[in-house]
Amino acid sequence: MNAIVPAGDPAILTGMEAGSIRAVMMQNGIDPAELRKYDRTLPEDAWKEIDARVVQIARQRLVLTGYLLSQGLRYPLNDFLGTPVLQTQKASDMEAADITMEPTSRGNEGRMTFSDVYLPIPIIHKPISFGIRMLRAAAKNGQPIDTTTITTVLRKVMDKVEDVFVNGASGIAVTVESTQGVVQGLTTFTNRNTVDLAVNWDTSGKTGAQILSDVMDMLDSARGDRMYGPFVLLVPNNYESKLDEDYGSSYPKTIRARLLEIEAIQDIRVIDQLSDDNVVLLNLSEETVEVIDGLRPTVIPLIQNETFVEPYLGMACMLPYLKADKDGKCGIVHLRPAA
């Protein structure tokens, strides 16, 4: 993708000192629209093209995160810069309701117990820069600037968002009052339910009925924790073609179609970041999962002390908020190869 810099426009950041842009971030956080007001390198039309590409890339790359957001499973984080650690609580279940002849009877008062949960809020980012000679030439002659690098950076940022959602980021951890918080993913979450996979789905001879049986085992595991859906079934790339095979001679449809006939399963999604032969059944409820939404993938201009480069930063603050109650009940089921 190329963006035209009008001839004569200065290919430098002007009217901005390092202190002023920091002041903007201190007051407003990272607001891309606000920060771009200081950028005199890329014209407004270039930013519009970049933003349009962000939408296109997000549709392609944010398969899981975008789907969960479309289901309303969003935890807004309005000031992610000022929230390095998110403190929440998880609650126990409550005893059953009373049944009496008189509603005036108080019965047993409902009580829940709580424990603190601490979740670090990392920022996913990737820097890029344009050389001053290219920018000056573009400004002087009206030549296009190739912004393919920017879209590649955005793709890398989005891929990392998805990877963290699936596999977590074990290196990101905090300890608060002897309680450790770690960024965990669907396949690493401590309280997830696990089911052993005896025979991989893409093994020759594995039947549609056997795959159906594996999925029913996953549903039984979720229901054992009182999680009843609706669910989305997340499968790795190596199982996509298997799901499009015929279920069997007695059922003239695909394996995918048969699984979607299970009332509790709302959708099936292929997720690049899932390792081969790993499948996740996810309860689509805020008691199980939300997307912490601090900053959608974007590009912002930066200040740098080097004279001959113009820096930009692709960044996002989006990560999984996976939940279980205080008793460990959870709506995530991980089907994995038996050890």
Q: Tens of pLDDT along 218-237?
A: 999 999 999 999 999 999 99
- Listed ranges 108-117, 255-264, 312-321, 323-332; the one with the highest mean pLDDT: 255-264
More confident residue, 135 or 163: 163
Query: In the chain, what are the domain boundaries?
Result: 2-83+118-182+289-322, 192-285+329-337
Tokens 């629209």 belong to: 33
pLDDT band at residue 170 under the 50/70/90 scheme: confident
Fold of the domain built from segment(s) 2-83+118-182+289-322: Major capsid protein gp5 fold (3.30.2400)
- d(Cα 109, Cα 106) in Å, to the nearest integer? 7
CA triple 37-41-44, angle to 5 deg: 55
Of the two residues 220 and 78, the one the predictor is more confident about is 220
Residues 6+ apart with CB under 8 A from 327: 92, 93
What per-residue confidence (pLDDT) applies to 150? 81
pLDDT value of position 11: 32
Backbone angles phi, psi at 21, to 5 degrees: -70, -35
Mean pLDDT along residues 204-219: 96
- Say how many CA atoms lie within 13 Å of 138 toward its Cβ: 22
Question: Kind and range of the H or E element at 315?
Answer: strand 309-322
Angle ∠(296,297,300) on CA atoms, nearest 5: 110
Stronger pLDDT, 293 or 110, i.e. the higher one: 293
d(CA 162, CA 323): 18
Cα–Cα dist 280/206, whole Å:
19
User: Do 260 and 269 meet the contact criterion of CB atoms below 8 Å apart?
Assistant: no
pLDDT at 8: 37
> Strands 289-301 and 169-176: what pairing?
unpaired
Cβ–Cβ under 8 Å, residues 167 and 273? yes
CA distance 25 to 20: 9
pLDDT band at 286 (very low <50, low <70, confident <90, very high): very high
For residue 21, pLDDT beyond 60: no
First to last CA, the chain: 47
- 260 burial via Cβ count (<10 Å: 0-12, 13-18, 19+): middle
Which tokens is 233 given?
């079934």
Q: What is the pLDDT of residues 141-154, one digit of tens each?
A: 666 666 678 888 89
What sign does the dihedral 98-101-102-105 (CA atoms) show? negative
| CA-based nearest residue to 47, from 154, 156, 158 | 154
What pLDDT, on a 0 to 100 scale, did the predictor assign at position 7?
38
pLDDT score of 19 more than 50: no
Mean pLDDT along residues 249-268: 95
Q: How confident is the model at residue 10 (pLDDT cuts 50, 70, 90)?
A: very low
- Alpha helix (H) residue ranges in the chain: 18-28, 32-36, 44-61, 63-70, 132-141, 148-167, 208-224, 240-243, 255-260
Question: Which of 50, 131, 83 is CA-nearest to residue 297?
Answer: 50
Q: Which amino acid is at 212?
A: L
pLDDT at 6 over 80: no
Give the percent of the chain with pLDDT over 70.
Answer: 71
CATH class of residue range 192-285+329-337: alpha beta
